[in-house]
Amino acid sequence: MKKILLGINFENESDAAIEDAYLLASKYGAAIIPIHAIEYLPQRNYQHEVDLLIGQIESRLKDISQRLSIRGVEVYEPVIEKGDPIFVLEAAAKVLDVDLLIIGAGVDDPNHRTLGVTAKQIIRSSKIPVWVSNCATDKVDYDNIVCAVDLSPASLKTLETAAILARTLNSKLHILHVEPKMTYYPGLMNSDIPVSPWVLSEYMTEMKSEEEYSREHEDYVLTHDLQDFVNKVNLEGIETDIHVKSGKASQEILAFSALFNSGLLVMGTTGKSGLLSKLLGGTVEKILNKLPCTMVCVYHKKD
């Protein structure tokens, strides 16, 4: 990692983003590029008022840059652009060829649209990893990192990113896969054929309760599918645990992150193509709405 684009909007969530940018820059020896998108201009749009506003923004960004520089990290000249934060950040990330974008999570309030509040749109459009800093948590360290994977080839990139972060931050890495809960085919409750929403459980023939099937299915996926998936990534030197849960992905990921008091959650924004891609994207957005900790979203190309 060589360059970090740090989105700043002067709200409280920017404080957490600034601290996270400093942490990563100091660990990786990376440079920080502060950026602010001017989304609003003075109502009368008089030039002297516009100049005054820009001057105040420049002063705040200069102060932030100086505070970071004093702590020993390299800081580039701050960038100020007029326009929608989504387009400004996307264009800047491409032009400046940065490795990571850091923003604040913000508050889910459609009547007060700030950089942090648009985190979901930024994640959708960003082609580089997005680090969403959560200022609403007391968690100040990253001892435990949770990486949610869906076992797709694209999801390997998510695990590789999580491994790099865990190694750099000296964190324990929890690798989590959520299987759809075992159920019965809609409208055929008496068929005695348990299924999941995606695949039939062909290796199970004896009729058992849904709970028994879920436990057996979790054990099978843990010892076969997930273990084979994890073996494809270099995890040498990282304390690692792997876990399989059954249920709704967003609920299980949130509960798991809370259980292990995770400071960082790593997920992919699109792990599969078509309908499944949309469902996975929905999982990310549901988690953002109840973000329990800081989150890193890794972009995957659609199949």
Domain ranges, ordered by start, for the chain? 3-133, 144-298
Q: What is the pLDDT of residue 277?
A: 42
Confidence at 119, pLDDT banded by 50, 70, 90: confident
CATH class in words for 3-133: alpha beta
- pLDDT mean across residues, the chain: 80
Residue 268 has pLDDT above 80, yes or no: yes
- Element spanning 18, H or E: helix 13-28
Residue with tokens 């508050």: 107
Q: What is the pLDDT of residue 201?
A: 45
Q: CB of 178 within 8 A of CB of 253?
A: yes
Highest mean pLDDT among 100-104, 112-116, 270-274: 100-104
**Identical fold, 3-133 and 144-298:** yes
Q: CB of 126 within 8 A of CB of 93?
A: yes
Residue 261 has pLDDT above 90, yes or no: no
Q: Which fold has domain 144-298?
A: Rossmann fold (3.40.50)
Confidence at 115, pLDDT banded by 50, 70, 90: very low
Residue 146 has pLDDT above 60, yes or no: yes
Both tokens of residue 174? 């929890």
Confidence at 224, pLDDT banded by 50, 70, 90: low
Q: CB of 22 within 8 A of CB of 102?
A: no
- Element spanning 149, H or E: strand 144-149
Q: What is the pLDDT of residue 190?
A: 55
Confidence at 158, pLDDT banded by 50, 70, 90: very high
- With b meaning 16 or more CB within 10 Å and e meaning fewer, what string describes 21-36? bbebbeebebebbbbb
292 versus 59: which is more confidently predicted? 59
> Can you give the pTM of this predicted structure?
0.80
242 versus 217: which is more confidently predicted? 242
276 versus 116: which is more confidently predicted? 116
